[in-house]
Amino acid sequence: MALFEGAERAGVGITMFIVHSVPGALVELHTHPYTETFVLLEGRVRWTAGDDVVELDAGAVVTVPPDTVHGFRNTGDISLRMVTVHESGVLIQHDLDQEPA
């Protein structure tokens, strides 16, 4: 995973992750105090956001509102590639230490 924190690196109000995870890998449930948008470039993912659980394929775009519990699991048989955009110049994350669906 690669991280770009915009405030420090470029004086901008976004943070971005480039996610590359192997089949079966996951990101545990967590929240942010700002909106986060996910662009699925390659692979398949089971997405948990609040009470919703959905299976998504490449080309999907998901936006999660502030303070919404979310996380994901690579359910495909290839590596997952995804870009996440945080509407904050610094990463602020509260981990719940729980696996997504």
**Architecture of the domain spanning 2-95:** Sandwich (2.60)
Return the domain boundaries, the chain: 2-95
φ, ψ (nearest 5 deg) of residue 9: -80, -30
- Interval 17-64: pLDDT, tens: 999 999 999 999 999 999 999 999 999 999 999 999 999 999 999 999
Residue, of 1 and 10, whose pLDDT is higher = 10
List Cα–Cα distances, 20 to 10, 14, 36, 42, 88, in angstroms: 23, 20, 17, 9, 22
The answer to whether the predicted template modeling score (pTM) of the entire model surpasses 0.75 is yes
